[in-house]
Structure 1
Amino acid sequence: MYKLSFMKIHSRNFLAFIMFVVIQLNAQPNPYNTVEGVWGKLPKGRTWGSTSAVFPATDGSGNIWVAERCGANSCAGRDDTPILLFSQSGELIKSFGKNIFVWP
Structure 2
Amino acid sequence: MSVSAFVRVPLTTLIVVWAALQGTSVQTEQRGGTVQTDNVQPVNSGANPYRVIRDWAQFTSEGRPWGGSNGVAIDRDGKSVWAVDRCSPGTTPGCVGSKANPVHHFDASGKEIRSFGGGMFVWPHGIHVDRDGNVWVADARATSPDDLKKFPGEDNKGSVVVKFSPDGKVLMTLGKPGVRGNPPEALTDPTDIVTDPRNGDVYVAESHTDVTDPNLVARISVFDRNGKFLRVVGRTGTGPGEFRTPHAIEFDSQGQLIVA
- TM-score, scaled relative to structure 2: 0.28
Match of 1:62 in 2: 79
Partner SS state of residue 70, structure 1: coil
Higher mean displacement: 92-101 or 28-37? 28-37
The 3-state SS of whatever aligns with 1:37 is strand
Displacement of 1:32: 6.1
Report the Cα distance in structure 2 between the residues aligned to 1:27 and 1:63, rounded to whole angstroms: 27
For residue 53 of structure 2, give the secondary structure of its aligned residue in structure 1: coil
Cα deviation, residue 98, structure 1: 0.4
TM-score (structure 1 length as normaliser): 0.64
CA contact (8 A) 1:82 1:97 kept: yes
Q: CA separation of 1:30/1:38 partners in 2, compared to 1, >3 Å: closer, same or farther?
A: farther
Residue in 2 aligned with 1:42? 59
**Aligned residues between the structures:** 78
Q: Larger radius of gyration, structure 1 or 2? A: 1
Percent of paired sites with the same residue: 31
Q: Which amino acid is the alignment partner of residue 84 of structure 2?
A: A
Higher relative contact order (CA 8 A, sep 6+): 1
Gaps of 5+ in 2: 1-42, 125-260
Q: Name the CA distance, whole Å, in 1 between partners of 2:53 and 2:78.
A: 23
Going by fraction, where is helix more abundant, 1 or 2? 1
Query: Over residues 20-58 of structure 1, what are the superposed CA-to-partner deviations in whole Å (9 max), with x where a residue is unaligned?
Result: xxxxxx761463623233111213540011111000002
Partner of 1:3: none
Determine if contact 1:81/1:97 at 8 Å carries over to the other structure: yes
Structure 1: tracts of 5 or more residues without a match:
1-25
Tell whether the 8 Å contact from 1:52 to 1:68 is kept in structure 2 after alignment. yes
Q: State the distance in 1 between where 2:44 and 2:80 align.
A: 33
Cα distance, 1:87 vs structure 2: 0.5
Shift of 1:79: 1.5
- 4+ residue stretches of structure 1 with deviation over 6 A? none
Match of 2:102 in 1: 82
2:117 to 87, 97, 100: 97
The structure with the greater share of residues assigned to strand is 2
The alignment yields a C-alpha RMSD, in angstroms, of 2.1
Q: 1:27 to 1:86 in 2, by over 3 A?
A: closer
